[in-house]
Amino acid sequence: MKKELPQKKTQISHKWTISKYWLRFLIIILLVIGVFFRFVNIDKKIYWGDEVLSSLRISGYTQSEMKKQLGNGRLIGIEDLHKYQYPNSEKNAIDTIKGVIVEDSQILPLYILMTRFWVEYFGNSIAAIRSFSAFISLLTFPCLYWLCQELFESSLVGWIAIGLVAVSPIHIVYAQEARSYSLAIVAILISSAALLRAMRLKTNVNWFIYAAALSIGFYTHLFFTLVAFAQGIYVITIERFRLSKTLISYLLSSLAGFMTFVPWIWIIITNPQPEAVTWANIKQTVFMSAVRWAGIFSRAFIDLGISPNEPGKLKFLLIPFILILLVIIGYSIYFLCRRTSKKVWLFVLTLIASVGLPLLIIDFVFLKRYATSRYTLPSVLGIQLAVAYLFTTKITSISTKAWQKKFWSLVAFMVVMSEVVSCMVHSQPQIWWNQFPDKYQKYPQMAHIINQTKKPLLISDEDNIIPPLQVLSNLIDPKVQFQIVGKNQLPEITNGFSDIFLFLFEPSDFLKAGIEKVYNSKLQQVDDFLWKITKAN
């Protein structure tokens, strides 16, 4: 008997090793697919309002400078507009920081500066600008693996987490957007892993690394402060509210990281931008909030580009799949809390609640709509960690029964397939739900109308330059000429153009009425924000 036991143990270990290698092979395939979808058709989606604002900040110009230089009624070309969308010799990195301070203090400068240097080296095309976010998103994989090693002490959980995140549609969406969300995800993962490592090794070097990671996160996105606060709650709870050596080291490190952010806090206080979040003040019902939150969490695993406000039968067909995903998410959190130590489950719960809980309270108590997929990415990361642990344990654990392994293998396969299908669907359209289709879905149609003409002139005023006119300028041909006038001013319309159009996203009754009266013309509306100017009979 004594000789048979080691033989049996070796046999089980051998089977485990084979299954583990096959699993890693499949995950490598998912990783390749995920990298592919981060870069494929990266310039196909419309370069929408938020991205245009990012480009303005990257250029180093301010909106007031752009309006002053362009809104004088002279004829300009597309290159004159695009001058304010990428770096040039007139502005340097210091001007970039100044522009953020004066006009966008809530948009933290780290991503903007890094993208500026990237664009200076790789070019200013839409593909080049967006590829920085896609490149940064690749750092998610090693950082996620490191976090899983520190949290679960399991390389296999790390591999499965990488597989889930690699083809996760929500990660693909923000990897192809010229905003700071990919960098924020990396900052969250690095700071989380660095914190757990510092708590485990208790060395000054590791606490210094954690402080540096905090500083990076603070200058990446404002909501990182909530993640850092949740990390503090985690450390205090694990240390049982005692002023232990670990807690003292944490407090010193977090204080050091926070002190680097104090200058920018002062900038935000002295340069407030309250209009930046006016979109969130729209009232909504409890049911609308519930639907929005269901969509936020389910988009981590399935996303066919359908927003809750979009009409159509397809969104109703998705309801059973979304409900199943919500059940899996809920069970994975329950399973994590039942099967892991407090050190593990508390960390995942605090990560989920860090941003999710405050936004949940605001949405359901004050009936606002602050919760968006881009703000709740820390919560999504926590959910994906819980699901990765559930799949790993159910599929590979020796104690799991055979039928349970088959069942959970099927569940994992269906989840991964829904992610891959979502990535395939996302790669094709010109506009996606995160780009506010209600605002921008008509822009390609307007551009097509203008491009069909021989020698067009497009008239607008300075209030419509950014983002509307800049968004449209990325879709129209270089042959189009522009004439932009100041507020409450009329253009001097010249001859020599085959067609003259008026573009107004922001209404201007003065401009419309003035053109009709002064130039004896009439306006024929050809789209929501586009009119054709013709001579009156």
Helix (H) or strand (E) holding 378: helix 377-396
The answer on 354 and 238 residing in a single domain is: yes
3-class DSSP assignment, residue 429? coil
CA distance 458 to 499: 9
The rounded distance, in Å, linking the Cα atoms of 125 and 191 is: 32
Same domain, 338 and 294: yes
Dist. CA 106–CA 267, nearest whole Å: 9
Q: What is the band of 263 on the pLDDT scale with cuts at 50, 70, 90?
A: very high
Over its C-alpha atoms, the chain yields an Rg (Å, rounded) of 26
pLDDT band at residue 9 using 50, 70 and 90 as cut-offs: very low
Let me know whether 32 and 77 are in one domain.
Answer: no
**Same-domain pairing of 147 and 202:** yes
Q: Is residue 399 part of a domain?
A: yes
**Nearest one of 523, 460, 531, 535 to 495, comparing CA atoms:** 535
Q: Are both 305 and 343 inside the same structural domain? A: yes
Per-residue CA distances from 30 to 112, 141, 184, 420 (Å): 30, 12, 23, 9
Please indicate, yes or no, if residue 272 is contained in any of the structural domains: yes
In a domain, 117, yes or no: no
d(CA 129, CA 132): 6
Structure pTM?
A: 0.92
Q: Is residue 377 located within the same domain as residue 462?
A: no
Q: Specify whether the backbone of 496 is left (phi greater than 0), alpha (psi in -120 to 50) or beta.
A: left
Instruction: Kindly state whether residues 417 and 470 are assigned to the same domain.
Output: no
Q: What is the pLDDT of residues 43-101, one digit of tens each?
A: 999 999 999 999 999 999 999 999 999 998 899 999 999 999 999 889 999 999 999 99
pLDDT tens-digit series, residues 230-253: 999 999 999 999 999 999 999 999
> Distance from CA of residue 138 to its chain's centroid?
14
What confidence tens digit (pLDDT) does each residue in 521-531 have? 889 999 989 99
Q: Which two tokens stand for residue 223?
A: 């909501």
The pLDDT of residue 4 is 41
114 is a domain residue: no
Distance CA 380, CA 363 (A): 17
Q: How far apart are CA 249 and CA 211, in angstroms?
A: 10
Same domain, 82 and 38: no
Residue 19 is assigned to a structural domain of this protein: no
Q: Which of 110, 162, 61 is nearest to 388 (CA)?
A: 162
Q: State the residue for tokens 């993208």.
A: 115
Range of the domain at 299: 26-44+133-432
| 8, part of any domain | no
pLDDT digits (tens, 9 = 90+) for 368-417: 777 788 899 999 999 999 999 999 999 988 887 888 888 999 999 999 99
Smallest Cα–Cα separation from 157: which of 484, 421, 440, 385? 385
Which residue among 371, 398, 432 closes a domain?
Answer: 432
Spatial contact of 399 and 405, defined as CB atoms under 8 Å apart: no
The 10 Å Cβ neighbour count of residue 450 is: 23
Residue 94: CB atoms within 10 A of its CB come to: 9
Neighbours of 389 (CB within 10 A): 27
Domain count across the chain: 2
